[in-house]
Structure 1
Amino acid sequence: MTPAFRRLSRPLLLALLAAPLLPAAPVLAQQAAAQAQPVDRIAAVVNDDVILRSELDRAIANIRAQYAGKENLLPPENVLERQVLERLILTRLQIQRATDAGITVSDEELERAVQAVAQQNGMSVDQLRARLAQEGIDFPSFRNNLRDEIVTQKLRQGFAQGRINVSEAEVDAALATAATTASQQFHLAHILVAVPDGATPEQLAIAEKKINGVKGLIDRGEMSFAAAAVRYSDSPNALEGGDLGWRSLNEIPPAFAAAIQQMQPGQVIGPIRGPSGYQLVQLIETRNQAPAAGDKVTQFAARQILIKVDDKTSDAAAHAKADALAARLAGGADFAKLASENSDDPATRRRGGDLGWFTADAYGTTFGLQVAALADGQTSAPFRTDEGWVIVQRTGSRQVVAGDENRRAQVRETIGRRKLEDQWDRFLRELRGEAYVDVRTSEPAAPASGG
């Protein structure tokens, strides 16, 4: 099963009984229904919404299924419950924020996503439906979970607009580093003990004590790094053992990029104080990809609809028109036809908005991040650029041999992704900190520092 399939959380299934079928004995039927119907409890209140105990239980069951055969990595039940509940809370907050921003997912978008998940797992939609049934997941709930994933992806795309800038000096420095070393990649994991923005000295001291306690457990061999991440990390990827995947130097924060090049697999560095809090970083393994003339970069094909903001059209008016066009697209309207009729870019309007093939930075960092975040065939929500409001539909992607400009584009895209990740993590922490959350489960104790 691929990661795209595994990460879909198990849905909420409430056992709802049918109405009584014996009108001659309504009292007995009601008593039987009351005895059979499970009483669901509230696990957490999240602003004006709730997470039910049944939803939490099924999410925990899903995590346990993912760890089948390696249950020793999982923490005690109360700690696992806290981690899973925090993930559900964060997802619920993102959905609420997206809803407030008017972000929606059409039935057509959802159907394409279902087909994509099936294809990624080497099966048809009917086979996917059968596989889900074998795992106790009903198909409508699977679709709802997938819809939530798409909504949060759109929220992230909107968040990126206008926030990420990569200077030419940063690109020059990255290329200079690559010219003097092999193109190494590093498989990393991390543990984060988060601190709020403007943390007090007391909060910093508590966080530092906790991270030192976690490091002590790892150094003494009392707990593996992955198990410690699952149990103690505040990062959204805690339940994956803190795994960050493979990263090039450009994708590693400068605070510890130099140190990682000197590390051996299995080694841990930290605590490192960063903008998010205190981190421990483990190097799992390395691999070399030496630069060669045949190096390749990614190019994208896409269509766009541009609604310009100028002396005649205000930002609000342009945004409203872009939203209206997005609604028509969600209803099944043809993108090329709408672009031909409505786009304010004369160069692409006559081609149905077609931009041809381009690298991620060809139209600026914001545009490139939006296109890179889409799947082939997917359409973005409206987003703001220097020219106005844009809707983009990615129609294809390919790998091509890299020339100098293409290499610069690839490096710029990589640095942009790293910066977006940092800012997005901070945004999620702020979202959590500003929310009203009433957690109705017990909290685990943090490890003590020292021996």
Structure 2
Amino acid sequence: MRKILTSLQLSLTRRSRGLGLAALIGLTPAAALAPQPLAAQGLFSPAITVNGDVITRYELDQRARMMHLLNAPGDPATMAHEALIEDRLKAQAAKTMDITIAPEDVQKGFDDMAKRANMSVDEFLEALKQGGVAQETVRDFIKSSLLWRNYIGTRYGARARPTPAEIDRAISQAGQGGGLQVLLSEIIIPVTPQTLDQVDALAQEISQITTSDAFSAAAAQYSASDSRAEGGRLDWLPLNRLPPSLQPMLMGLKAGDVSAPVMLPNAVALFQMRGLRETGVAEPHYSKIDYAAYYIAGGRSPEALATAARIEQTADTCDDLYGIAKDQPPEVLDRESLAPGKLPRDVALELSKLDPGEFSTALTRNNGQTLVLLMLCSRTSDMAADVTKDQVGQSLLEQRLQSYAQSLLAQLKADALIEEQ
């Protein structure tokens, strides 16, 4: 689903996840790598003005420290510079519509960050203090994110909301496909509680890629999918094999477009559209997907992947896995037959690429400690599409709001008077 939020906003709106202090401040001690303290002289002097609004050197230093604590990829100083300029532009836009954020909403966002870090508020404050980040810096960041979200929703919500006819048309296009096939590239980035913020920031950066070569390079570097060896490039896929909740979003991409980050269990996915074609031959719909999941300890370690490779050479059908799992605990092997809409999204995505008897090793469980050897057993055809109008409507709304937000921010930057001091 497309999002209009930054990586932090994605975290704030997501269910609470355990995140230890080591993950919050990174594996390297903050004092060793954090930006060095500014001299007292000139601490609050202007560094940048954005349409007359001042950004101080203190704010730049604080934001850089915060980005460092979040272990965001890239140079913290550069990211702080760009993010604070955007924050000023967002605040100025929100002011034109008298949009404000209640203190209790900011406090809730702050409390949610502490909970997600598996800390009390006091412990969270102490972690910020150790990293040299004032709590006001985090509160300002949260406030800016909420302001922008509310402003985009207020300004474009009515315009972006799809009509019943548009929803029906999207269902017709995505759910009944009639031979529609998509040519995609993918990046699947594993997520653990310890890497959640870093992966969020990385995924947001990748979503801004504009060329196929850059996307393929990112896939080769970051993706855990089996397609990474091909730069994330997939072969033509029938649209209705893909997870029903993703189909409307993919239909909204033009050639070359990169999707916003899509949350999966234990991973974040991004897609680049390379092509869309009508084959003229109707693709079947499926009422049931039969698959097996064999769990291997060790995550994506060489040993676990080697075990998976040996099983792939041995098993020709899903039934063969029962013999391999013999005398092992029953939980080592799952066999399921589910409607497409009931599949976990990451499982559905991997199965969409497989023919019966083929395997995938892209998924993990148990915070990355267990490798999933996924095997497609069979697909049962059915004429009914498994997608609801609510799912399609929400997907279209989010997609349009994201597009409006990106376009408006780019225009605000182009029109702004930005002066470096």
Q: Please, what TM-score do these two structures have when normalized by structure 2?
A: 0.45
Greater C-alpha radius of gyration: 1
Task: Provide the TM-score with structure 1 as the length reference.
Answer: 0.42
